[in-house]
Amino acid sequence: MQPQRLLAVARERGLQRLCITDHNSVRTGLELAARAPELVVPGIELLTTKGELLAYFVTAEVPARLEPLRAIELLRAQGAVISVSHPFDHKRGARWSAADLAQILPHVDALETFNARCVTRGMNPLATLAAFDAGLPATAGSDAHGYGEVGIAGLLLPDFANANELRAALRAAQIFGRRSSVAVHLSSRWAALRSRAGGKL
């Protein structure tokens, strides 16, 4: 997605906060937060050696493929709010085992309990149960890879301006939205193939 158009789409759809969580990079999130600080929260979806983490109010890059606890330590040093991405989605390449989750849950702020791109219906409810058992608040998101997905899922929560206020607000958050259609997965796969081919497909 083109950054300027993404901001326009978010505003058109009435989003008051847009979390940019590119894979393994906070660069675009920081750039857009500088352009639209009232709208954008800079974040990252970080691949560890076990699975993926989501972090919000990230201020600097963290290397991918670290051990989860080391990645959490580096994110925590920045004051970031840390959640666990689609923890029971075994259709994705990055998969959390039960043992891995048990190790990190005491060290994160929340668990993603609704991800619009989870294909199988049972994946999000399993995450909801895990969050309840761990006493963690929920995060939710569109996991948008295209403009059509922006804002189809997210959170209704009190206003916040920084990481500490977001942590508090998550305790009162309500999830909204729906799952993406299968077509978005096909379009994402096509876009990835086209990108690898240098745009020649």
Over range 149-159, report the average pLDDT.
97
CA angle 106, 153, 33 (to 5 degrees): 75
Q: Whole-number mean pLDDT of the chain?
A: 92
pLDDT of residue 194: 53
Q: What is the pLDDT of residues 66-117, one digit of tens each?
A: 999 999 999 999 999 999 999 999 887 668 999 999 999 999 999 999 999 9
Over range 28-53, report the average pLDDT.
97
Q: What is the pLDDT of residues 127-145, one digit of tens each?
A: 999 999 999 999 999 999 9
Q: Which residues pair with 23 in a beta bridge?
A: 45
Q: Is the dihedral of CA 184, 125, 162, 25 positive or negative?
A: negative
pLDDT of residue 138: 97
Q: Are 42 and 33 in contact (CB under 8 A)?
A: yes
pLDDT of residue 26: 98
Query: Which domains, ranges and CATH numbers included, belong to the chain?
Result: 3-196 (3.20.20.140)
Instruction: Using a pLDDT cut of 70, give the percent of the chain over it.
Output: 90
Give the residue with greater pLDDT, 188 vs 49. 49
185 pLDDT above the threshold of 50: no
Q: Supply φ then ψ for residue 61, to 5 degrees.
A: -65, 145
